[in-house]
Amino acid sequence: MSDPEAEIIIVDVREKWELERCKIDNSLHIPMGTIPNELHQLEFNLPIIVYCHHGMRSMQVANFLLGRGFIHVLNLEGGINAWAQDVDSEMEVY
């Protein structure tokens, strides 16, 4: 049986200092500015969820990925801030 978490790529596009404050476990850190050079880390055939602090940067990255042929790309609406409020109330917010 395959690992369900291996079936989804979660990409954190925030800066390193933001990652040091809080993060979603098992996410892949690729800062927004490095995405064009790091596409090799992503798989076209797997669903990708992109997040940032509030969802604006990740929306831009999601649109960029869709424009490059990635099919299953979602933006985590509200970013990690919404995640902290709705999913993990013990997560630090900033």
Residues noted as catalytic: 52
Sheet of 9-12, strand order: 28-29, 9-12, 48-51, 73-75
Q: What whole-number distance in Å separates Cα of residue 65 and Cα of residue 67? A: 5
